[in-house]
Amino acid sequence: GPGVRGGPRGGNAISKEGVNMQICLVRSQGYQGMVDGGDNIKEASWESVSSMLQVGGTVIGSARCKDFRTHEGRLDAALNLVQRGITNLCVIGGDGSLTGANLFREEWSGLLDELVQSGQISEEAAQTHSALHIVGMVGSIDNDFCGTDMTIGTDSALHRIIEVVDAIMTTAQSHQRTFVLEVMGRHCGYLALVSALACGADWVLIPEMPPKDGWEEQMCHKLSENRADKKRLNIIIVAEGAIDQNNKPITTDLIKDLVVRCLGFDTRVTILGHVQRGGTPSAFDRILASRMGVEAVLALLEASPGTPACVVSLCGNQAVRLPLMECVQMTQEVQKAMDEKRFEEAVKLRGRSFENNLNTYKLLSHRKIDTELPHSSFNVAVLNVGAPAAGMNAAVRSAVRVGITEGHTLFAVNDGFEGFYKGQIKEINWGDVGGWTGQGGSLLGTKRTLPAKHIDKIAEQMKIHNINALLVIGGFEAYLGLLELQAARSKHAELCVPMVMVPATVSNNIPGSDLSIGADTALNAITDTCDRIKQSASGTKRRVFIIETMGGYCGYLATVGGLAAGADAAYIYEEPFDIRDLQSNVEHLTEKMKTSIQRGLVLRNENCSENYTTDFIYQLYSEEGKGVFDCRKNILGHMQQGGAPSPFDRNFGTKIAAKAMQWISKKLKECSLGLCEVRTDFCYKSNRKHTYSTLLQEIKC
């Protein structure tokens, strides 16, 4: 579009949904294709967008268009649309492209009048096409658009950045080095900030928060402090648009010179550049774009001539519609605020999610000296329970550091409730959790053991270590475990303390929570593998892959993984199926495989059916597909729990655990001030069990 930047984004997952309406794709360079017409506008079919999901960048092309900025250009575009009977436009681009679309809509009736006058279209054609409907979706790796928590492409860019940081961290550990990394984002610090959170960077520079006077010494001091802690590697992340208090750019070279001058460290500069736009889209982006695409089509179907142009946004975990121009104006306000040095306001305008990230980073990055800390004299224990999930370590790190900052003494429990009753409890310090964000699995150790049989011993350990609060990070067993501890409160006064659970499981099956830590990493593992499986044996004959995912009785991974990987069917426990369903799926797929489609993908959740096993489904498809396609099966297994956590899980774990620890502090403080209600049975249970969405099992004491 005519925006400042029209680079490709990872977001081809749109228009996979079938709707009873003719859909055209404007090919070749966005608005230019609309101005040029001809073959650039083609009807899209189910097949033509098949296997588009996993392709990075943009398949239909995107570019800045000079012609569309001229009146003549827009007149040509209007003619091309009317000739094809198109009155609905779904525009995927940055704020510049979306503003262009809005202008086009406002001019529409004037453009049609002109076309009638010059005799290029009939009066009648002008009548039937009198209203143009616009819906926008923001495709931008910068995440710089107000009104949406995430833009399409941002999560994929974070993946690219974190891949590079992880590579640096594993290769550079043996040398004493400082890395200065520049990441993209134009005037928005989102990518830099969230990357810094995701890798536990030592310093971050973003345009929304120019460093205070004297920051140079502070930064050098912090780096030398890390050295004293025997940390060999320092990472400094600099946003492309980083500035100082006087709006003067802060460059990576400036930082490098500074570090070399004041500390003499071996310092390298890495500028990430366009790798951030490349690669395959992440699972999150595919799902986000697919859901936004559906919402966009619904918005167009419901639009009436007076409906203002809207943009599809992500609010929390929901796709919502917002007035396009209001969002564009707010986005421009951010820039204005920064130009006028009203930085606090700029942060506010960027939105809740940005502010939250910034506050969490500030909370975790700065180690306070002991004398600065409030002394709470409370002891808080942290443990992992259930199967390992990527992001658990990030959650532990964040909980420990926030807890220490709030003045508590933190205790780590190894191996879940099993380690708890055996007394595997140790104090854990700020430095002990350094570098934990990027590590997979559970460094504390985790077990599925439930506490009910060992309540006496657990209560005894609580007493020995004088534990005043409990933070449990884990899956369904963690949830059940807390319920068991709660049930034992009437017998054991030691258990009458604030307890909180942070959901962390690939299965995403914790009641009351939309998302759990680890699910995003598992989805990425599933989509990566499905992409690879689909590409393997390409060029050979038609093939259908039956893939078994984890998730226990919860169909989240199979359905959402299926959406992200473009599966033809997904079998889950929640939606019972019988032989008739299987038959119709097989027949449908067989018909489909007779067209140009070469690859079929069927996902099966591990516990979807006791008797329709993966082998059974594989044999059924093999037999019925004879002569049309052959079949392969694959059980994904534990790879879904492991590996390096995705940027999303690192940040989600970090943020949610920080929140949990803050909740604990609040409760402890209330209790110490005598504000909590102490009844004869010591405790009462919160009745909000089913209304909370993030933290589970709020128990008041």
Ligand X SMILES: *[C@@H]1O[C@H](CO)[C@@H](O)[C@H](O)[C@H]1NC(C)=O
Within 13 Å of residue 467, how many CA atoms lie on the same side as its CB? Answer: 31
Which residue among the candidates 142, 149, 202, 568 is catalytic per the annotation?
Answer: 142
Asked whether position 606 contacts ligand X by CB under 6 A, the answer is yes
- Under a CB-based contact definition with an 8 Å cutoff, are residues 384 and 474 in contact? yes
Q: Which of 151, 133, 130 is nearest to 142 (CA)?
A: 151
Dist CA 490 CA 479 (whole Å): 19
Between helix 647-672 and helix 352-365 the angle, nearest 10°, is 70
- Under a CB-based contact definition with an 8 Å cutoff, are residues 253 and 238 in contact? no
Q: Is 25 left (phi over 0), alpha (psi -120 to 50) or beta?
A: beta
| Residue 398 C-beta: closest distance to ligand X, Å | 32
| 587 class by beta-carbon count within 10 Å (0-12 exposed, 13-18 middle, 19+ buried) | exposed
Residue from 607, 619, 634, 694 in contact with ligand X (CB under 6 A)? 607
Is the Cβ of residue 285 or residue 606 nearer to ligand X in the bound state?
A: 606
- Coil vs helix vs strand at 542: coil
- Coil vs helix vs strand at 98: helix
- Under a CB-based contact definition with an 8 Å cutoff, are residues 384 and 503 in contact? no
Dist CA 449 CA 438 (whole Å): 26
| Residue 637 C-beta: closest distance to ligand X, Å | 9
Is the Cβ of residue 481 or residue 552 nearer to ligand X in the bound state?
A: 552
Backbone φ and ψ for 475, nearest 5 degrees, come out as: -95, -150
| Residue 693 C-beta: closest distance to ligand X, Å | 28
Beta bridge partners of 593: none
Rounded-to-5 percentages of helix, strand, coil across the chain: 45, 15, 40
Beta bridge partners of 470: 381, 499
Dist CA 76 CA 74 (whole Å): 5
Between helix 556-565 and helix 283-302 the angle, nearest 10°, is 80
Q: Which of 174, 231, 163 is nearest to 199 (CA)?
A: 163
Q: Would you state the structure tokens that stand for residue 91, as one six-digit string?
A: 């525009």
Asked whether position 611 contacts ligand X by CB under 6 A, the answer is yes
Query: To which H or E segment does residue 364 belong?
Result: helix 352-365
| Residue 572 C-beta: closest distance to ligand X, Å | 13
| Residue 589 C-beta: closest distance to ligand X, Å | 23
Dist CA 522 CA 507 (whole Å): 9
Is the Cβ of residue 439 or residue 607 nearer to ligand X in the bound state?
A: 607
Strand ranges inside 543-594, DSSP E: 543-549, 569-571
Q: Which of these segments, 100-108, 446-454, 607-615, 678-686, binds ligand X (CB under 6 A)? A: 607-615
| Residue 391 C-beta: closest distance to ligand X, Å | 23
Dist CA 699 CA 671 (whole Å): 13
Q: Which of these segments, 155-163, 606-614, 624-632, 658-666, binds ligand X (CB under 6 A)? A: 606-614
| Residue 465 C-beta: closest distance to ligand X, Å | 36
| Residue 580 C-beta: closest distance to ligand X, Å | 15
Asked whether position 579 contacts ligand X by CB under 6 A, the answer is no
- Under a CB-based contact definition with an 8 Å cutoff, are residues 632 and 600 in contact? no
Asked whether position 578 contacts ligand X by CB under 6 A, the answer is no
Rounded to an integer, what is the distance from CA 567 to the centroid of its chain? 21
- Amino acid code (one letter) for 380: V
Is the Cβ of residue 46 or residue 553 nearer to ligand X in the bound state?
A: 553
Q: Which of these segments, 147-155, 175-183, 443-451, 605-613, binds ligand X (CB under 6 A)? A: 605-613
Please confirm, yes or no, whether 229 is among the known catalytic residues.
Answer: no
Residue from 119, 123, 610, 679 in contact with ligand X (CB under 6 A)? 610
- Under a CB-based contact definition with an 8 Å cutoff, are residues 498 and 489 in contact? no
Is the Cβ of residue 540 or residue 611 nearer to ligand X in the bound state?
A: 611
Q: Which of residues 131-190 bind ligand X (CB under 6 A)?
A: none
| Residue 613 C-beta: closest distance to ligand X, Å | 8
Q: Which residue has the tokens 């960048």?
A: 57
Is the Cβ of residue 553 or residue 682 nearer to ligand X in the bound state?
A: 553
Beta bridge partners of 545: 601, 632
Q: Would you state the structure tokens that stand for residue 228, as one six-digit string?
A: 């004293």
The site for ligand X, by CB under 6 A, has a size of: 4
Is the Cβ of residue 331 or residue 641 nearer to ligand X in the bound state?
A: 641
Between helix 283-302 and helix 154-172 the angle, nearest 10°, is 170
Strand ranges inside 240-304, DSSP E: 267-271
Is the Cβ of residue 556 or residue 648 nearer to ligand X in the bound state?
A: 556
Rounded to an integer, what is the distance from CA 21 to the centroid of its chain? 31
Q: Would you state the structure tokens that stand for residue 93, as one six-digit string?
A: 């681009």
Q: Which of these segments, 26-34, 284-292, 529-537, 603-611, binds ligand X (CB under 6 A)? A: 603-611
| Residue 392 C-beta: closest distance to ligand X, Å | 22
Is the Cβ of residue 79 or residue 546 nearer to ligand X in the bound state?
A: 546
Q: Which of these segments, 269-277, 447-455, 516-524, 604-612, binds ligand X (CB under 6 A)? A: 604-612
Is the Cβ of residue 282 or residue 640 nearer to ligand X in the bound state?
A: 640
- Coil vs helix vs strand at 553: coil
Is the Cβ of residue 594 or residue 638 nearer to ligand X in the bound state?
A: 638
Q: Which of residues 420-449 bind ligand X (CB under 6 A)?
A: none
Q: Give the total residue count for the chain.
A: 701
Dist CA 439 CA 390 (whole Å): 8
Is the Cβ of residue 361 or residue 573 nearer to ligand X in the bound state?
A: 573
| Residue 605 C-beta: closest distance to ligand X, Å | 9
| Residue 644 C-beta: closest distance to ligand X, Å | 25
Binding stretches for ligand X (CB under 6 A): 606-607, 610-611
Which residues are marked as active site? 142
